[in-house]
Structure 1
Amino acid sequence: MSFWQRLVAKPDLDQTLNADHQLARTLTTRDLIALGIGAVIGTGIFILPGTVAATTSGPAITLAFILAAVVCSLAAMCYAEFASALPVAGSAYAYGNIVFGQIFGWIIGWALILEYMLAVAAVSTSFAAYFQSFIGGFGLHIPKAITGAFDPAHGTYINLVAVIVVLLIGLMLSRGMQTSMAVNRAMVVVKLGIIILFVLVGAFYIKPANWHPYLPFGTKGILAGASTVFFAYLGFDAVSASAPEVKKPQKTLPRGIIGTLIVATILYVLVAIVLTGIVKYTRLDVADPVSFALNVIHQPKLSGIIALGALAGMFTMMVTMIYSSSRLVYAIGRDRLLPRWFGKVTHQLPLNALWTVTLIIAVMGGLVPLTQLVNLVNIGTLIAFAFVSIGIIPLRKHEKIDNAGFKVPGYPVVPIISFLFCLLLMSQLSAETWIMSLIWFAFGMVVYFAYGFRHAKP
């Protein structure tokens, strides 16, 4: 076998489909939608509608959310078809490995490892900040030394709350998926209840005059707003990581992925309608627009409840992303591109992968300043989206894959449009983001050729 043939070698399909039989199939459509909403609806729902309305779209932010959802749905449908055809652990990594070959699977997997871990580490620090603010309302305070990344010059040594919340989620996930999903569903219900409370209370204070002019920035404002809020929908792809632990995956996975997007769109649009109806859009360019709007209508007590909703939102996002990243690392270890130790299953759970991921994220969230690295989350996601979108074409042509479940309508036009849109969004990212990502991928190539290339399954 030549060097190139080894690089693009594809795994045996039957072996791959049966490789995850040790994992317990316990998840339902309800669990998957809760996982998806847990990832997609975070603190962004309390911030983005206000700031983007004020700076980019005006009251037409509602149309920007709908347009972004339509574009996102293209990638979501591609994910749904892959999940239906190939219900295996690893999500986009596994799909790329099967239809494009080993090196492409590795690149996607390496991008997703960065995306998931950085996203959780960054959110854990935000969770810590919200938590400090929340308990501050009760007169409680955490010593400064344990409230930030390692920076002795400024008096901080570790962000202890960020570390603790990540370790607690890892512990919860290690107890089994049924317990974890019960807690996750409860937190999602709390979060949704608080969002709905804001919508219902705020609806009584809407002044239609605040929606005029509806298009202060013109149609360009809608397009610019859509490109900004597109990233608010990211996270639905994490649902596909649960494939081998899902009951009736061919039906359940597409429902979970598409259902997540529908629910998220409805919630974002409702919050945007109410928020811009309560307060003139020009006043919403603040750090906490929802809390600001509640103070404007003299409902300050609800602001504390909103903070609770933000905490619940961040918690469920971290649950989904830690879960997904552990399954990704497990799948790469299972295929021996990383040490087989990561692919070991204990008590129907990939505990080695789970605790490795949890500890790395805890260290990053607790000790490392992440401000400059968070933009890498976007490029990692878009790379995966692009490969999954265009990958529908070789998937349909694969001789051994007979998908009787969900299929993307409008083939091959829809996958190609989705792929091109991913490239367009990637072109909008900063040069700094591209440079940092190239460094990450260069490191990934070193790891691949030092270990994965020599140890991967033949």
Structure 2
Amino acid sequence: MLETGQAPPLTSGPRKPVNPLLRRKPVEQMVAEGGQGEGGNLRRSLTMWQLTMISIGATLGTGIFVVLGEAAPKAGPAVTISFVIAGLTALFSALSYAELAGSVPVSGSSYSYSYVTMGEFIAWICGWCLVLEYAVSVSAVAVGWGQYLNELLDGTIGVTLPEKLSAAPLGEGGWINLPSLVVVLLAMVFLLRGAKESARINTIMVVVKIVTLVLFIGIGVMGIKSGNYAPLAPLGVTGISAAASTLFFSYIGFDAASTAGEEAKNPKKDLPRAIMLSLGIVTVLYCLVAFVAVGALPWKDFEGTEAALAQIMTNVTGDSFWGVVLAAGAVVAIASVVFAVLYGQTRILFAMSRDGLVPKIFAKVDAKTGAPRANVVIVSLFCGALAAFIPLGELANATSIGTLFAFALVNIAVVILRRTKPDMPRTFKVALFPVTPILGFLACGYMMYSLPVATWVAFGVWMAVGLVVYFLYGIRRSRLATAEVATAEK
């Protein structure tokens, strides 16, 4: 058994220099280091139910409460088909995630899976994509939360926040999106209490959001008009594909359970179950809500609104009370997405920090709460700043491309690990291997291709910054690098 932090022993005989970009972390070492941070350890306290709630919490709400207003004008009534396509794309990758989460149950998610299969450089790229995915996702969802908060305030006390305090200065003419900043800071306060307490709060919020969506389906179905479904695809297949690419953003989060690998009680069994169960529940609810929504409101009327479901509830019942109820549910629902995704981001940075690729402060664990408190504060302030000053649309697209790239790597990783460690114990195996991960990789590539050029440019800039950070900092401070130097000096 390797001591914590040690690289695998070198074999006798002439030493062959290892390309630092290709050095891989042994699976056994990765698992053995699980939970160990600077000054304290993460605590194994999460059950399968709580892990499922983390994934649902990170996923459910985003596409329905926020991005549906952007996707419906692209696909028309066929937006339900777009949800199905995005869900199938997510499913291929979810199967790969489930296998790897059960085999390598650590906090780093796809970053860690890449480290043990493709080497440090690819792992860094994946981790950098995850920073984009999670941090920007938190910010984008927080922006949508502000829209529903205004709906709720208007429906209850007849007051809305002035635009200068509820809109980003970049492209929206405001001073600061204050509600978005506030919800991120509230999530930060809860996360500072530790994983167990955070999971309890998250479970309550997830139950509220599921009940809210079921209520919408029950009331919204009474307002369906068959004419709203014709023509089904007014903008053709291109529109459906474009909407699916945007809606993939709404499935981001099913992998959140994999970031809790070092805080789960029984990670090898519970992580795969939580990932698959959460994706199934979310997909069913998304499709039902989308079908009812476009049936109750003409697809062109979704343009420019990020609070469409509350409007539908009011239109169908003729009573603003139900719109207020929906808005209240959305406020809780979207807050839980912010909360769960922020949790995932902190755990990924925790794993990267433990490997030496980002500063040690991100792996510092509070001995009393078992939470990486400094990590939580830094990430929350960063995400809060993004939410306060950048518009939603660009954030959503940037999140999608980072996620798709990371998912593509996970599909490659599961193939590599099957080839390099065929006898490794696996509590879950991808069906129809290797067809499923190959399809997952191709689907991710297609979805990335469908994204606009501006998103690719932003992604390229982000990756360029990441490469600079890695070659100036990570490559020299990597714990594998320092272990190799120590071994060579003996």
Taking structure 1 as the reference length, the TM-score comes to: 0.90
1:92 partnered with 2:110: yes
Q: Following TM superposition, by how much is the alpha carbon of 1:186 offset from its aligned partner in structure 2, in angstroms?
A: 1.1
- Letter in structure 1 aligned against 2:200: A
| Distance across 2 between alignment mates of 1:165 and 1:33 | 22
What residue in structure 2 maps to residue 251 of structure 1? 269
1:291 partnered with 2:313: no
Deviation per CA, 1:376-414, whole angstroms, max 9, x where unpaired? Answer: 111110110110011111111223871331010111111
What residue in structure 2 maps to residue 342 of structure 1? 362
| Distance across 2 between alignment mates of 1:18 and 1:233 | 31
Given that 2:59 and 2:282 are in contact with CA atoms closer than 8 Å, whether structure 1 keeps it comes out as yes
| Distance across 2 between alignment mates of 1:154 and 1:208 | 39
1:431 corresponds to which of 453, 460, 463: 453
- Letter in structure 1 aligned against 2:180: A
| Distance across 2 between alignment mates of 1:369 and 1:286 | 13
SS of equivalent residue, structure 1 residue 409: coil
| Distance across 2 between alignment mates of 1:401 and 1:362 | 45
What residue in structure 2 maps to residue 453 of structure 1? 475
| Distance across 1 between alignment mates of 2:391 and 2:383 | 12
What residue in structure 2 maps to residue 186 of structure 1? 204
Deviation per CA, 1:251-273, whole angstroms, max 9, x where unpaired? Answer: 11111111111111111122123
What residue in structure 1 maps to residue 64 of structure 2? 45
| Distance across 2 between alignment mates of 1:276 and 1:118 | 28
What residue in structure 2 maps to residue 104 of structure 1? 122
What residue in structure 2 maps to residue 263 of structure 1? 281
1:242 partnered with 2:260: yes
| Distance across 2 between alignment mates of 1:6 and 1:454 | 9
Deviation per CA, 1:324-356, whole angstroms, max 9, x where unpaired? Answer: 110011111100011223222222222222222
Task: Flag structure 1 segments of 5+ consecutive residues without an equivalent.
Answer: none
Aligned residue runs from structure 1 range 29-428, under 5 A: 29-46=48-65, 52-53=71-72, 55-58=74-77, 60-137=78-155, 138-142=157-161, 146-149=165-168, 156=175, 158-208=176-226, 210-211=228-229, 223=241, 225-281=243-299, 283-285=301-303, 287=305, 288-297=307-316, 298-347=318-367, 348-367=370-389, 372-399=394-421, 402-428=424-450
| Distance across 1 between alignment mates of 2:460 and 2:18 | 22
Given that 2:167 and 2:173 are in contact with CA atoms closer than 8 Å, whether structure 1 keeps it comes out as no
- Letter in structure 2 aligned against 1:388: V
| Distance across 2 between alignment mates of 1:145 and 1:283 | 25
1:27 corresponds to which of 21, 46, 66: 46
Q: Following TM superposition, by how much is the alpha carbon of 1:167 offset from its aligned partner in structure 2, in angstroms?
A: 1.8
Q: Following TM superposition, by how much is the alpha carbon of 1:28 offset from its aligned partner in structure 2, in angstroms?
A: 1.6
Q: How many residues align?
A: 455
| Distance across 2 between alignment mates of 1:111 and 1:63 | 27
| Distance across 2 between alignment mates of 1:368 and 1:62 | 28
Deviation per CA, 1:83-141, whole angstroms, max 9, x where unpaired? Answer: 01100111111111110000000000011112211121222233234323422331345
| Distance across 2 between alignment mates of 1:364 and 1:201 | 36
Given that 2:228 and 2:296 are in contact with CA atoms closer than 8 Å, whether structure 1 keeps it comes out as yes
Deviation per CA, 1:294-331, whole angstroms, max 9, x where unpaired? Answer: 33322432111111122112101111111011001111
| Distance across 1 between alignment mates of 2:232 and 2:395 | 35
| Distance across 2 between alignment mates of 1:150 and 1:227 | 27
Deviation per CA, 1:29-62, whole angstroms, max 9, x where unpaired? Answer: 221221122121224314555764554242x443
| Distance across 2 between alignment mates of 1:370 and 1:46 | 13
| Distance across 2 between alignment mates of 1:372 and 1:70 | 24
Taking structure 2 as the reference length, the TM-score comes to: 0.85
Task: Say what the alpha-carbon RMSD is for the aligned residues.
Answer: 2.7
1:14 partnered with 2:28: yes
| Distance across 2 between alignment mates of 1:335 and 1:245 | 18
Q: Following TM superposition, by how much is the alpha carbon of 1:369 offset from its aligned partner in structure 2, in angstroms?
A: 5.7
Given that 1:45 and 1:268 are in contact with CA atoms closer than 8 Å, whether structure 2 keeps it comes out as yes
Given that 2:168 and 2:174 are in contact with CA atoms closer than 8 Å, whether structure 1 keeps it comes out as no
| Distance across 1 between alignment mates of 2:227 and 2:432 | 41
| Distance across 1 between alignment mates of 2:98 and 2:119 | 20
Task: Flag structure 2 segments of 5+ consecutive residues without an equivalent.
Answer: 1-14, 36-40, 481-490
Q: Following TM superposition, by how much is the alpha carbon of 1:214 offset from its aligned partner in structure 2, in angstroms?
A: 5.1
SS of equivalent residue, structure 1 residue 375: helix
- Letter in structure 1 aligned against 2:347: R
Given that 2:220 and 2:292 are in contact with CA atoms closer than 8 Å, whether structure 1 keeps it comes out as yes
Q: Which moved more, 1:237-246 or 1:115-124?
A: 115-124
Q: Following TM superposition, by how much is the alpha carbon of 1:216 offset from its aligned partner in structure 2, in angstroms?
A: 5.8
